Amino acid sequence: MIASSLTCRVLRAVWLWLAALGQSSRVFAAIGRCYRASGTHRTLARWLGAEPRALASSRYTRAFTNENARLSRKTKLRAAIESSVLCRIYRAVLRCGQNSRILSWLFSGGVTGLILVCIGLYAGIDYVLRDLLAIPVLSSMWDEALLLFAALWICGQRVEARSPLAARTTPMDCGILLFLTASFVLMNVNAPFFSIQVSGFRASCQYLLWFFIVTRILRDDRDVLRLYGALVGLGVLLALHGIYQYIVAVPIPASWMTHTETAVRTRVYSIFGSPNIMGDFMVMVAPMCAGLAYCVKDTKWKIAAWIGTILMCIACLFTMSRASWVAMAIAVVIFVLLVDRRLLALLAVAGIGACFVPFVRTRIGFLFTDDFAAANTSGGRAGRKLNALNLFYAGNPWVGVGEGMFGGAVAMQNQVLDGVDYFYVDNYFLKTMVEMGYCGLAAFCLMLLGFLGAACRALYRKAQDFKAGLDRLFPLCAGMFAGLCGVIVHCFFENIFEEPYMMAYFWSLAGLLMWAGFLREDKQEVRA
């Protein structure tokens, strides 16, 4: 009965059509030949495969090279680092852990490997310290301490080398430095409440520094797998936790659903406290887990990677976050187009099948009801965005109302503007524009466009190496790129960059992608 049903026959026809389209269509084949012979293709190939010579010969790179040379000559600094309390504690723990499997694994990569594992487990560590242990001093300062320690460790490694090291600069550095400069200038130019502006600047810019940490601390492919594997492993555990929450129907606030959504049992959030953040985390990590399936050679690890990917997609579905669903769909499509286009047919079938799930139909169908239209206009996203724009145009549109003054977490903690109804804007681009004006928004968009352009160049290079059999990093890079694109899309619906761990993950993975594309020198095989 099922095999002969109309739905099954339609799905089978779509499957066969998509599978044969690329091979049997003369039209698509002719278009492909014309494109490959066009000047556009040649121009893109030259740009994507070009070496960053301009950056390598810039004053920025020369300044970093000179600074590395100066650090290598400062023997007193090296002696101070080696005699410090932190260094002595590390040596003591290392000696105690020589006979321990767990500690020996943690310290197998030295301090560098331990830092990378901590970055990968960032959200888990933050949850344990903030919610489980709840030690105020430790929970509020541990991430800043880790950032400072990583920076000091990099400087110590430069000193320990005792010889000038190559400056690690990437095409993304200028865009990030531009945004940092613009944020700093706007913080001083438009500062009605300077302490709040400092907090807003910290919330927007502090975690950008993880990009520079990661690009300068990575040594080889094993370090890549430490950060990558720790993050993917955490993603699988949180996906299982989210599925468990759905099975037991964990209680949720009534405001997360409406009375008309009867098919929605609950919304999962794991350790994040928000289904939207949970969904965004799954959006970022699921393509990375799929990338592992194409990177490893062992069949057991391939199966495990695909199971992990499916679990993350299911957990994202159980968040009931429509924005996360859109971001996940875009991330998965990008990954499939980059790595394996044969999965397009399976992807189409999965998308059609998801539409028959009751709670999916309920969540999507609610968008077309009068209740949603009324709620969206009065107190929903549309109404809040209109109020945010009114506040924006009432002031100076070029510099905004001031960093940390409206639309985000800092503003919700410091409600100092009179006659203003405070709320989360739920659009990070709009929040940036309201707080920092056209200047800040332009700097932010240029930074993201710089990332996308540099990432495309990095992916092109890794694809060429992957085809030539020189390394197997391309699927991992494609997974990171797809996940980060999904996060950017989600920023149109949520204040994703308000979450410290999401910003730390985003810029750490961006740094890992830049290292793989522009700083990796040895063509070494990646092993799981």
* 221 contact partners, CB below 8 Å, separation of at least 6: 471, 473, 520, 524, 525, 526, 527
Residue 122 lies in a domain: no
The whole model's pTM is what? 0.85
- Spatial separation of the C-alpha atoms in residues 101 and 104, rounded to whole Å: 5
List phi, psi (to 5°) of 117: -65, -40
Residue 430 lies in a domain: no
Residue 503 lies in a domain: yes
Residue 478 lies in a domain: yes
343: nearest Cα among 353, 352, 333: 333
- Spatial separation of the C-alpha atoms in residues 350 and 516, rounded to whole Å: 32
Q: Region of 357 please: left (phi>0), alpha (psi -120 to 50) or beta.
A: beta
The answer to whether 528 touches 292, Cβ cutoff 8 Å, is yes
Looking up tokens 């929605």 gives 264
- 122-126: long-range contacts, CB 8 A cutoff, minimum separation 24: 122/501, 122/504, 122/505, 123/234, 123/238, 123/271, 123/272, 123/281, 123/501, 123/505, 124/234, 124/237, 124/271, 126/500, 126/501
Residue 343 lies in a domain: yes
- Spatial separation of the C-alpha atoms in residues 241 and 239, rounded to whole Å: 5
Residue 259 lies in a domain: yes
Residue 470: which domain range?
226-371+466-519
The answer to whether 502 touches 281, Cβ cutoff 8 Å, is yes
429 C-beta neighbours (distance < 10 Å), count: 16
- The tens-digit pLDDT sequence of the chain (528 residues) is 445 555 556 556 655 655 555 555 666 666 667 767 777 767 767 767 666 655 556 777 777 777 777 766 656 666 676 677 767 776 676 666 556 655 565 556 678 888 999 999 999 999 998 888 877 777 778 889 999 989 888 877 777 765 556 678 888 988 999 999 999 999 988 878 888 888 889 988 999 999 999 998 998 888 999 999 999 999 999 999 999 999 998 988 877 777 666 677 889 999 998 899 999 999 999 999 999 999 888 889 999 999 999 999 999 999 999 999 999 999 999 999 999 888 888 888 888 888 888 888 888 887 777 777 776 666 667 777 888 888 888 888 999 888 888 888 888 888 777 767 777 888 899 999 999 999 999 999 999 999 999 999 999 988 888 887 777 889 999 999 999 999 999 999 888 888 888 999 999 999 999 999 888 864 444 444
Number of domains in the chain: 1
365 C-beta neighbours (distance < 10 Å), count: 13
Residue 234 lies in a domain: yes
230 C-beta neighbours (distance < 10 Å), count: 19
Residue 482 lies in a domain: yes
- Spatial separation of the C-alpha atoms in residues 499 and 505, rounded to whole Å: 10
